[in-house]
Amino acid sequence: MSVTHQQVLEKLAGVTSPRGVALTNANVLSPITVSDGKVFFSINVDAAEARAWESVRAQAESAVRAIPGVTAAMIALTAERKPGSSSPPPHRHAAGGGVPPASAHRPPQGAPSPMSRQAEIPGIAAVIAVASGKGGVGKSTTALNLALGLRDVGLRVGLLDADIYGPSIPRLTGIREKPALNDDKKMIPISRFGLSIMSIGFLVEEDTAMIWRGPMVMSAITQMLRDVAWGALDVLVVDMPPGTGDAQLTLAQNVPLKGAIIVSTPQDLSLIDARRGLAMFRKVNVPVLGIVENMSYFQCPHCGTRSDIFGHGGARHEAERLGVPFLGEIPLHMAIRTTSDSGNPVVESEPDGPHAAIYRAIGAKVRDQLRGVIAAA
C-alpha cells in the first residue's frame, strides 16, 4: 500500500503544537518527502523554542509511523535563531545562528530521498569518513592533514566537519568567516589551503550547537552535504562525530560513503573503541579503507629520540588481525599539536618536514584505493 502525502498531512493535523494550533497550521513544516513508504521532513522553529517542540517532534514521528505502509519516518527539529537575536548576520541563513531548513532543495516526490544512501552528491566522486571510537585521539587533526595529503597527491579535496557536538575544524584551520550563499541559496564552502571546507562551527554559536539532539544532528549534516555548493571534487573527507552511538550509525547509513578511515591511538582501550567503529561501518556495508595509528610513538622535539610510550604498533596488529589495511603511524609530536592549534596544519606549514611526508603517504594509499571510484566519476 503506497503512502500518500495527504495521509501524512491528515495525521499531522491531529498533533497540537506549542502555539496551540494544529502542527499543519503552525507554519513550521518543510515540504514533506514521501518515497517508498519513507517519510522525511523537518520542523523549523526558533532556537529559543526548541525544547518545547521536542515532544511535538516525537508525537509527529509516532503519528506518521502509525500510518499503514510507512516503513520509516525521520522528522528533524531544526533550530534557527531569529534574525536580530544575535550578532547581525551578513548573509541570510548561513549566519543566522542555525542551519537553513532542509526544505529548500528537496527533489520532487518519487526521486531518491536526500536522506537515502543512494542519493550521490552531484560533482563529488567519493565521500569518505574519518572516524574514531572515542574523542581526543586526534581524529580532526588527522582528517585535516589527510585532506591536505590527498590534495598533495593531486586530488580536488573538500572537508566537511560533521562533528556537530564539538566542531574543531574552525580552530584547526583558523577560519573565522561565515559562508556566503550563491544565487541558488546554497552555501559556498570556505576555500583555505586549496580545500573547500564546511563546518557546523561556521554557522552556529556554541550554545546553539549544544541544544541539538538526535535527528537534528542528521538533518544539519544532510544540509551541509547537500545544500552546499561543493563544486567538482574527487574526495570529500567527512570528519565524523567521535564514537559509535546512534548518531554515528545513522550518519554512516545515510551519507553516501565510499569508505571510512579509523583513527586510533595504540592503547588497548582506544583499540577496543576502534574495533567498534570498524564493526559499525561493516554493519552498514561501508568499506573500511584502513586504520591510522595516531600518537603512535613520542618523538622528542629537541633531540628527535623516539619513545614508544603508548606501546606503539597496536593498531597495526589490530588491522592485520581484522583484515583491513594499515595506513600509517603518526608520531605524538609537538609540531603537530602547535600547528594544529594555531590554525596552520603541519602539512601546510611544514610541507617538507617528516610529518607532511607521513600524511602524504597515507593520502597516496587512500587515493590508490579510491582510484576506480574517482575514475568512474
Residue for grid cell 517532534 = 57
- The residue (of 36 and 341) whose beta carbon lies closer to ligand ADP is 341
- The residue (of 302 and 323) whose beta carbon lies closer to ligand ADP is 302
Supply the minimum distance, in Å, between the C-beta of residue 325 and ligand ADP. Answer: 20
- The residue (of 173 and 294) whose beta carbon lies closer to ligand ADP is 294
Residues 41, 35, 158: CA angle, nearest 5 degrees:
65
- The residue (of 168 and 222) whose beta carbon lies closer to ligand ADP is 168
Q: How far apart are CA 48 and CA 124, in angstroms?
A: 36
84: left (phi over 0), alpha (psi -120 to 50) or beta: left
Supply the minimum distance, in Å, between the C-beta of residue 292 and ligand ADP. Answer: 10
- The residue (of 97 and 138) whose beta carbon lies closer to ligand ADP is 138
Q: How far apart are CA 25 and CA 12, in angstroms?
A: 10
Supply the minimum distance, in Å, between the C-beta of residue 273 and ligand ADP. Answer: 11
DSSP 118: T
**274: which residues sit within 8 A by CB, 6+ positions away?**
132, 133, 262, 263, 264, 291, 315, 318
CA 105 from centre of chain: 19
DSSP string, 264-319: E-SSHHHHHHHHHHHHHHHHTTPPEEEEEEEEEEEE-TTT--EE-TT-TTHHHHHH
Positions in the binding site for ligand ADP (CB under 6 A): 132, 135-141, 168, 242, 294-295, 330, 332-333, 336-337, 340-341
- The residue (of 99 and 262) whose beta carbon lies closer to ligand ADP is 262
CA 57 from centre of chain: 23
Supply the minimum distance, in Å, between the C-beta of residue 262 and ligand ADP. Answer: 11
Supply the minimum distance, in Å, between the C-beta of residue 345 and ligand ADP. Answer: 10
**Alpha helices (runs of H) in the chain, residue ranges in sequence order:** 5-13, 50-65, 139-152, 169-173, 206-210, 215-226, 246-254, 268-283, 314-322, 334-341, 346-349, 354-376
Task: Give burial (CB, 10 Å; 0-12/13-18/19+) of 344.
Answer: middle
Q: How far apart are CA 148 and CA 126, in angstroms?
A: 16
Dihedral sign of CA atoms 310, 316, 320, 322 in order = positive
Supply the minimum distance, in Å, between the C-beta of residue 239 and ligand ADP. Answer: 7
- The residue (of 42 and 132) whose beta carbon lies closer to ligand ADP is 132
- The residue (of 30 and 299) whose beta carbon lies closer to ligand ADP is 299
Supply the minimum distance, in Å, between the C-beta of residue 129 and ligand ADP. Answer: 13
Candidates 377, 371, 376, 362; CA nearest to 150 is 362
Select the residue whose beta carbon is closest to ligand ADP and give its number: 138
Supply the minimum distance, in Å, between the C-beta of residue 132 and ligand ADP. Answer: 5
Supply the minimum distance, in Å, between the C-beta of residue 68 and ligand ADP. Answer: 44
Residue for grid cell 535563531 = 81
Supply the minimum distance, in Å, between the C-beta of residue 100 and ligand ADP. Answer: 26
DSSP 252: H
- The residue (of 190 and 332) whose beta carbon lies closer to ligand ADP is 332
- The residue (of 60 and 137) whose beta carbon lies closer to ligand ADP is 137
